[in-house]
Structure 1
Amino acid sequence: MNRPAVSISLSSYGADLVRQRGQGSFIQILALAGATRIEWREELLTGENPAQLAEATRAEGLESVYSSPMELWLAGQSKPNPELITALQRAQAFGARWLKVSLGYFTDNNDLQTLARVLSESAVQLLVENDQTLHGGRIEPFKRFFDEVEQHTLPIKMTFDIGNWHWQDQSPASAARLLGRHVGYVHCKAVTRRADGKLVAIPPAASDLQQWEELLRHMAQGVMRAAEYPLQGDDLVQLTREHVAALAHLGQSQRENAHV
């Protein structure tokens, strides 16, 4: 049985540690832990050399996703964010097969034909993520966007961030039902509310894994998934290995049942 691809968002190891050590220092950790993909974080880059990281990743048999904090659609602009072209080029320089961005301000006036032209000139696949904002973190704009994507047959998939829906009081279960067929990448993170009222990402409990299992039923079998929650401890290889195994197992029980 093919194991689903599991990625680790390098932000999971903490911004300070990642900036201090450099993102390339985590390649071997992920490879030893059994991950199949690595998610580069643009906001945590320091002096990394893209070509060297691309080569080191290939040498370890890993594929990569490039995460950019840019928004695809800017407020009051019909054309896609002009930074998209640069972001696609940067993703390619890092050897990434996927570029992850936020939706931004999507309206009925947005120009999807220009977006189609930009994407046709790149080998990198675009993944659009629900973030924590009012304009880019609710179900309704994503439903409209992916209806348009489908109508224009654009090569775009969704990054479904399970935890981010909570910032806008959206139901992850409803989101999975309505958007699941568009999902190409799942960002897994549990969320809790601190004493000061702020929501924060935390590692999953057994109950979270069970809920995630239900959400994945609405998505393609074996959909790529990633840890995007704190992975902090003395033995990062062992810790990462445990979480890779847990995430790889999600959705596999239904597959096993289908083969009984």
Structure 2
Amino acid sequence: MTRKIIVVTAAYGHDRIRSLGGQAAVLPIIAAAGADGVEIRRELLSPQDIDRLPPLATAIAHHNLLACYSAPEALFTDDGSLNPHLPALLDEAHALNALWLKLSLGHFRKTDELTSLRTLLAESPVPLVIENDQSEHGRLAPMQRFLAAVGVHSLPVRLTFDMGNWIWLGESPEQASRLLAPGVGYVHVKAAEPHHTSWRADVPDRDPRWAALLDSLPGDVPRGIEFPLEGDDLVAVTRHYVRWLREE
């Protein structure tokens, strides 16, 4: 079965997305590049856009693309409670006909909150994928603990493995792959390079380390392009990396 390649709209840059008129404007680019789907970012939607998700879903389907939905929110709040916005976010993902809703983990500490999570997910057709973000809650230890709890409670939740985010936190992406790979349902593909006093996302085909890391992750899960896609011919640039990720 051919591996699915998803293009994250933010890969084109927030300013470029705005100048083009919004995320719908890059759908023809993503489709022409031969990708299978698009990851819509909630932070790039205006409040008016949130109210117009069904037409966006129609546009995505018109381009024969699958949809994923990412919201810049955590599953758990600072006090360990389940995010009160989760039902609304699941509804938004459903309106978009999304394959999943992607969130970060947040402060996971109350396993009794998983009972409420099971109830919410049972009422929604949209599953969750939880990403290792660049906060302390995205470190390997809390992600491992959450994955173990998901298994114990048989929840329809998998992980988004963001290759580059481990570097931001000073952790080993290779070790993370060894420990988390069985629970991974989506891979955010990006390298990381030093930038001033921190890091920034970079293309992953310049260093064999990243190809080796990809090989260590499940080969049958979708891969999302989150590294910068830049240039005068965005279709050609996107097509190059779509093909690279299918073959790598």
Given that residues 191 and 202 in structure 1 are in contact (C-alpha distance below 8 angstroms), is that contact kept between their aligned partners in structure 2? yes
- Corresponding residue for residue 255 of structure 1: none
Shift of 1:205: 3.1
- 2: CA distance, partners of 1:197 / 1:95: 40
- Corresponding residue for residue 50 of structure 1: 53
- 1: CA distance, partners of 2:182 / 2:198: 31
- Corresponding residue for residue 183 of structure 1: 184
- Corresponding residue for residue 62 of structure 2: 59
- Corresponding residue for residue 253 of structure 1: none
Q: 1:19-77 CA deviation, whole Å, 9 max, x = no partner?
A: 23211011111111010010000001134321111111112211011000010011113
- Matched residue type, 1:75: D
- Corresponding residue for residue 29 of structure 1: 29
Q: Is 1:76 paired with 2:74?
A: no
- Corresponding residue for residue 10 of structure 1: 9
- 2: CA distance, partners of 1:214 / 1:155: 28
Matches within 5 A, 1:222-233: 222-233=220-231
Shift of 1:217: 4.0
Count of equivalent residues: 244
- 1: CA distance, partners of 2:209 / 2:68: 25
Shift of 1:188: 0.7
> Alignment partner of 1:4: what SS?
coil
Which structure 1 segments of 5+ residues have no match?
Answer: 251-260
Matches within 5 A, 1:101-250: 101-134=103-136, 136-194=137-195, 196-207=196-207, 210-250=208-248
Given that residues 32 and 235 in structure 2 are in contact (C-alpha distance below 8 angstroms), is that contact kept between their aligned partners in structure 1? yes
> Alignment partner of 2:98: what SS?
coil
Given that residues 137 and 167 in structure 1 are in contact (C-alpha distance below 8 angstroms), is that contact kept between their aligned partners in structure 2? no
- Matched residue type, 2:149: E
- 2: CA distance, partners of 1:221 / 1:204: 17
- 2: CA distance, partners of 1:67 / 1:24: 15
Shift of 1:107: 1.2
Shift of 1:111: 1.2
- 1: CA distance, partners of 2:118 / 2:109: 16
Given that residues 181 and 218 in structure 1 are in contact (C-alpha distance below 8 angstroms), is that contact kept between their aligned partners in structure 2? no
When normalised by structure 1's length, the TM-score is 0.90
Q: Is 1:97 paired with 2:95?
A: no
Query: Quick one: structure 1 residues 110 and 191, their matched pair in 2 at CA, closer, same or farther if it must change by over 3 Å?
Result: farther
- 2: CA distance, partners of 1:94 / 1:128: 18
Shift of 1:202: 1.4
- 2: CA distance, partners of 1:77 / 1:177: 27
- 2: CA distance, partners of 1:133 / 1:99: 19
- 2: CA distance, partners of 1:218 / 1:152: 26
Given that residues 97 and 123 in structure 1 are in contact (C-alpha distance below 8 angstroms), is that contact kept between their aligned partners in structure 2? no
Q: 1:73-101 CA deviation, whole Å, 9 max, x = no partner?
A: 111133x1111111100111112111000
- 1: CA distance, partners of 2:111 / 2:64: 42
- Corresponding residue for residue 257 of structure 1: none
- 1: CA distance, partners of 2:161 / 2:211: 14
Cα RMSD after superposing both structures: 1.4
Given that residues 130 and 159 in structure 1 are in contact (C-alpha distance below 8 angstroms), is that contact kept between their aligned partners in structure 2? yes
Aligned pair partner of 2:88 in 72, 86, 90: 86
Seq. identity, % = 40
Deviating more after overlay: 101-110 vs 90-99: 101-110
Given that residues 226 and 247 in structure 1 are in contact (C-alpha distance below 8 angstroms), is that contact kept between their aligned partners in structure 2? no
